[in-house]
């Protein structure tokens, strides 16, 4: 399972010109599920995301988490995080989980973050979405449950 985590000032998601969700300050998490991912992968990433110390403390050091700051989290499903372009220029998505499994682990990830006390906004799984946000920093962190980066 992979996540691209961005610190943002605000974010919103639209589907077919309809506002689906929005947050003020917090994290935008693009989440990709790989074929063979399990609950332990979801748990690992939920723990990592919720505890990432990427907000500055009084001394200007990144020592505070989204929980410490009492900010929100927006989670967007993005199977393209498993796009493989090592053999050409057209991505192959054979490593991405089948939609039903991707949805199950995506929804479990959202519920896990909510169980930690976060307000979690989401997009619509499988929909073509328009995502707008203002990056804060910019600060972007890549996470992988197999710890490849």
Helix segments in 24-148, DSSP class H: 39-51, 66-69, 99-115
Whether 78 sits among the annotated catalytic residues: the reply is yes
Catalytic (active site) residue 80: yes
Determine whether 59 is an active site residue: no
Q: What is d(CA 65, CA 81) in angstroms, rounded to the nearest whole number?
A: 24
80, 114, 134, 140: the catalytic one is 80
Reduce the DSSP state of residue 60 to 3 states and report it. Answer: coil
Nearest Cα to 46, choosing from 140, 139, 111, 134?
A: 111
Active-site residue, selected from the candidate residues 6, 24, 59, 79: 79
Q: Which of 6, 78, 118, 122 is catalytic?
A: 78
Would you please indicate which residues are annotated as catalytic (active-site) residues? Answer: 78-80
């Amino acid at each position: 399972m992979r996540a691209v985590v961005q610190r943002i000032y605000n974010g919103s998601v639209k589907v077919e010109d309809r506002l689906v969700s929005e947050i003020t300050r917090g994290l935008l998490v693009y989440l990709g599920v790989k074929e063979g991912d399990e609950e332990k992968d979801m748990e690992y990433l939920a723990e990592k995301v919720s505890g990432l110390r990427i907000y500055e403390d009084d001394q200007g050091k990144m020592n505070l988490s989204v929980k410490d700051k009492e900010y929100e989290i927006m989670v967007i499903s993005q199977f393209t995080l498993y796009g493989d372009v090592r053999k050409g220029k057209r991505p192959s998505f054979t490593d991405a989980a089948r939609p039903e499994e991707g949805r199950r682990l995506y929804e479990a990830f959202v519920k896990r973050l909510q169980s930690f006390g976060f307000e979690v906004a989401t997009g619509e799984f499988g929909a073509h979405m328009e995502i707008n946000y203002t990056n804060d920093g910019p600060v972007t962190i890549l996470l992988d449950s197999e710890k490849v980066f």
